[in-house]
Structure 1
Amino acid sequence: MPAPQTHTRPTALAVWLVIAGVIGWWAAFQLTLEKFHALENPGTGASCDFSVLVQCSANLDSWQGSVFGFPNPVLGLTGWVAPIVVGVAILAGARFARWFWWCFWAGFAFAFGFVVWLIGQSLYDLHTLCPWCMVTWAVTIPTFYAVSVHLLRSGVVPVPPGVRRAADAAMAWVPLAAILSYAVVILLAQLELDAIPNIWKTLFG
């Protein structure tokens, strides 16, 4: 039976970290397979290429797809292991030092910033929506919000008690914050790419 929810043993956050980590890792794994396929079969499309708008190939083949000198999915294959391990460790009763939480948050702050940048590149430069990339965006955004709020409510960030209480209450609003973030991305995609009717046509002809 799961342990009760506390700030030192945040069970709900731990469960989400495991779920998000598995989903994010799987998306990175699929993109890695697509990259291998492209290298082995030059000129062939990826299995996630559904249209000019909804595709993986343009993103994987672009310089933005290897911005650090290697394919971006490699970051996901390594990075998403961390929340899985942390989530399982919390469920097993582990407690982490303040410096660990700061490092963990820094990793997600980098991931969040990188995702925001990639969203901008996809919409305004590449003019594509990569399916597996969007899966990564979808789990990175709420995870960053949740970890940030946890640092405030747990006292990792030295703030007054009132702020900690507000952060504790704000945790319940993380899903809504994520939904609003998705809505902003959808709105930008619609304004820039006329995405909604194009995706509808791709899916339903």
Structure 2
Amino acid sequence: MNRRAVNATDEADLDEYEADVVDDDPADVYEDDEIYDEAPGAPRSLGLILTIGGILGFIGAFVLTIERIEMLLDSSYLPTCSIDSVLQCSTVMTSSQASVFGFPNPLIGVFAFPLVILTGVLVLARVALPSWYWLWFLVGTTYGLLFVGWLIPQSLYEIRALCPYCMVVWACVIPIFWRTLAYTLAGGHFGERVAGNALVRVIGRWWWVLTLVTYAVVLTLVLTAFPYYFF
């Protein structure tokens, strides 16, 4: 084969390669990325927060329930979280605020946190839950935050005592709410128009900052309510 024939063969191969590249669908090039982006289910971080927060919250609520039962059975029983005049679970648990609906508040957590745990596990398993589920779940977490937001000042300024197990529940409810709110809004469960809103996008990205700010506010309230104890 002469030089001219070899060059013609090389040019033909080059033309065929260029044609293949041009004909390739751009979507094929990023196929793996698209498959990842379209994977069902919510973000893994949401699943972790719901699972871990749900477990810790359930433990706190369950222990509080057991302690309350012990107090009902034995009026002289001293809860394990009654440490001193400020860290005093018994004072908190015998207050009227501890049974807002006619039964001990921790029972709400005993029944609610398993649902939070289940939701977290389903998210980690990449199960795609419907929008109606997330909307109702957000209603539940919003109620939880509002209830905790009411109990905190009651504990600080009315009861004048802190319950360590209660504070564990506080610490769990706060990130559960903010992460759920961020995902439900930014994840399109309220519609694409809401998901594209600038404020919603900020919440969706900076939910963890909102969580830290909420922690800082609660910590400030606790420190200022009992300055003689902490300083």
Matched, 1:180 2:213: yes
C-alpha root-mean-square deviation of aligned residues, in Å? 2.2
115-124 vs 91-100, greater mean Cα deviation: 91-100
Q: Which amino acid aligns with 2:207?
A: V
**Counterpart contact for 2:79–2:90, Cα < 8 Å:** yes
Matches of 1:151 and 1:9 in 2, distance apart?
9
1:146-170 superposed Cα distances (whole Å, 9 cap, x missing partner): 1011011110112355327x64564
Structure 2: which 5+ residue stretches go unaligned?
Answer: 1-35
Question: What's the CA shift for 1:174?
Answer: 2.5
Q: Which amino acid aligns with 1:16?
A: I
Q: Which amino acid aligns with 2:77?
A: T
Matches of 1:13 and 1:134 in 2, distance apart?
22
**Counterpart contact for 1:152–1:163, Cα < 8 Å:** no
Structure 1: which 5+ residue stretches go unaligned?
Answer: 201-205
Percentage of matched positions with identical amino acids:
34
Matches of 1:148 and 1:24 in 2, distance apart?
18
Matches of 1:54 and 1:144 in 2, distance apart?
26
Q: How many residues matched?
A: 195
Matches of 2:80 and 2:158 in 1, distance apart?
22
2:135 alignment counterpart: 102
**Counterpart contact for 1:7–1:154, Cα < 8 Å:** no
- Mapping of residues 80-99 of structure 1, within 5 Å: 80-99=113-132
Matches of 2:159 and 2:125 in 1, distance apart?
43
Matched, 1:198 2:217: no
Q: Rg bigger for which structure?
A: 2
Q: Which amino acid aligns with 2:143?
A: F
Give 2:153's match in structure 1, choosing from 120, 133, 154: 120
Matched, 1:61 2:94: yes
1:163 alignment counterpart: 197
Matches of 2:190 and 2:183 in 1, distance apart?
9
Q: 1:104 to 1:160 in 2, by over 3 A?
A: closer
Give 2:58's match in structure 1, choosing from 13, 18, 25: 25
**Counterpart contact for 2:145–2:174, Cα < 8 Å:** yes
1:18-53 superposed Cα distances (whole Å, 9 cap, x missing partner): 001000000001101111221122033211001111
1:45 alignment counterpart: 78
1:203 alignment counterpart: none
SS in 2 for 1:80: helix
